[in-house]
Amino acid sequence: MTGPAVENKSLNPKTKIILICLLVLISVCLLVSIFFVYSTLSYDRVYKGVFINDTDVSRMTFDDVCNLLKSKYSEKAKDLKVVLNHEGMAAEVDLSEIDLEYKIEEAAQKAFDVGRKGNIFERLSEIFNTSREGVRLSLEYSYNLGKVNEIIDDFYSKTLISVKEANLSIQDNKVTLTTGHPGKSIDKEKALEIIDNSIKTCEGGTFDVPVITTMPKAIGVDDIYNQIVVQPVDAKAVVENNKVRVVPHELGREISKSELADIIKENENTTDKEILLPVKFIQPKVTTDEVNAKLFRDVLASSSTSFSTSGQNNYNRGINIGVAASKINGKILAPGEVFSFNDVVGPRTVANGFKIAKEYVNGKIVDGVGGGVCQVSSTLYSAVLFADLETVERQNHMFTVSYIPLGRDAAVAYNELDFKFKNNTNWPIKIVSSVKNNTVSFTIYGTKEEPGKTVELKHVQVGSQPSPVKYIDDPNLEEGKTVVVQSGYTGYTIDTYKIVKINGNVVSNNKIHRSIYRPYETIIKRGTKKVEKVVQTNSPAPETVLSPTSDPTPDPAASNEVVDETLVE
């Protein structure tokens, strides 16, 4: 049995030739492509289409690029100047003096790196696109910005015309409105852009700097009106650190608001124009001259008391009176200010100049530093009463005193008793003291607002208590004889009235206080020693011997009579 016959076919010779040619052609193309790719990727120059700024650096070596840029920028910049101009004024920027440096090698390296990063396909794509479309690289540079800004700032200052706002001037009896003008200044940012662009292109020259104009604010009618219109202010006296300062008066001002608006409207486009405004000036009620003329013009009141300097105690007491009075001398009180005797005179100590003298302490007469100071406070209180000033704090003595009428004394003791009064007038007052010829005096100066005003004081005794007598038996003293060891004082109750009159008419009659003075004990020694009786035709009366106390104060001759004293202002 025989199988099917196998047909053996062979390629046509012509077909073979064609196939061989195709294979050869493909091989050649492949080889050419490989060569092209190799030669392109291994190219040792800058690829086509690369620019640095506007400079074509295609097909140049790294060194060629550096040399070209140096000649075109670095070398050229050494002789390059940029001149800024503004209305005939100029500022020169020498590029060789601002520490300018072009980054040439960095730029050359960036140009050389184009087409040399990434895989084969990325590189070939970038090389192809660069050759068709081109790549522009920037030449980086640096310079001393501080030096450049210093030049710009100096030029700015020299060319600056500051904006001037409208100004209102008020002097004496004249009010002037001066219109403003625009301000002009170079644009510093634009000036820096000009310099920076010149460095970038390495092109010098003279350039006009743009100007910024600043307009003044529109003049506001309400604002100007409110500055002009004021009420007059009276002059016044102000007390500072025990000195008087006169605050001058201020004139009031008025103007028609509608008239002012018309004036501003008419001059809104003018510059630096002075306009005298129709302002009416108003005088105050109290002028500076009037205050100066009235200040401490009048004696409001004065008071004096006498003292003795015989004996050591009275001598020391006189010194204390002088020291205390001197501390008060010249004291000035503002209206409404309160005077404190203890604050002004201060502690009664030896260090402050005070001596030891007799004084009342806890119901007894004892030695103490500052004895006699109460006469100063009492004398001042008397002047205060006659000046019709307001008493804030006052206390009478425990026992009677002889240097001033009862009901008019003012006891003081540092940290315990104070004498205070207020300046209830509308003007400053000054207290002037003097100690002369065993007399202490106070005069209060101020300003009389009611010239016809008078003050009267009445001291009415409403009660009395005799001095209690204490006897001490003395076995060494002969029977029938007595010795006064301590002289006592009668106690009194005194009401003090103040009568105020205007032109002789009583406007007030008030009891201002009641003063209660305690009786002071009399101590008498009486003899109990027995003696032989001698018969005599005429027997004398028992003998009483007075033994003086350390510093007795005489009992004032107080009675039920009214004591009237008047001060006319």
pLDDT tens by residue, the chain, 569 residues: 444 444 445 678 888 788 787 777 787 777 666 665 656 676 889 999 999 998 999 999 999 999 999 999 999 999 899 999 998 899 999 999 999 999 999 999 999 989 888 888 888 888 889 889 989 999 999 999 999 999 999 999 999 999 999 999 998 789 999 999 999 999 999 999 999 999 999 898 999 999 999 999 999 999 999 999 999 999 999 999 999 999 999 999 999 999 999 999 999 999 999 999 999 999 999 999 999 999 999 999 999 999 999 999 999 999 999 999 999 999 999 999 999 999 999 999 999 999 999 887 777 788 999 999 999 999 999 999 999 999 999 999 999 999 999 999 999 999 999 999 999 999 999 999 999 999 999 999 999 999 899 999 999 999 999 999 999 999 999 998 999 998 899 999 999 999 999 999 999 999 999 999 999 999 999 999 988 765 555 544 444 433 333 333 444 433 333 333 333 33
Q: Give the tokens for residue 176.
A: 């002037």
- For residue 424, what is the DSSP state? -
The rounded radius of gyration (Å) of the Cα atoms in the chain is 57
| pLDDT (0 to 100) of residue 197 | 93
| pLDDT (0 to 100) of residue 15 | 82
Question: Which residues are 207's β-sheet partners?
Answer: 84
CB burial of 353-377 (b: ≥16 within 10 Å; e: otherwise) equals bbbbbbbbeeeebeebbbbbbbbbb
Q: What are the structural domain ranges in the chain?
A: 33-157, 221-293, 296-533+540-568
CB burial of 460-491 (b: ≥16 within 10 Å; e: otherwise) equals bbeeeeebeeeeeebeebeeebbbbbbbbbbb
Nearest to 174 by CA among 284, 282, 276: 276
Question: What pTM was estimated for this model as a whole?
Answer: 0.63
- For residue 273, what is the DSSP state? -
| pLDDT (0 to 100) of residue 12 | 81
Residue type, 204: G
How far apart CA 392 and CA 354 sit, in angstroms, is 26
| pLDDT (0 to 100) of residue 480 | 87
| pLDDT (0 to 100) of residue 299 | 97
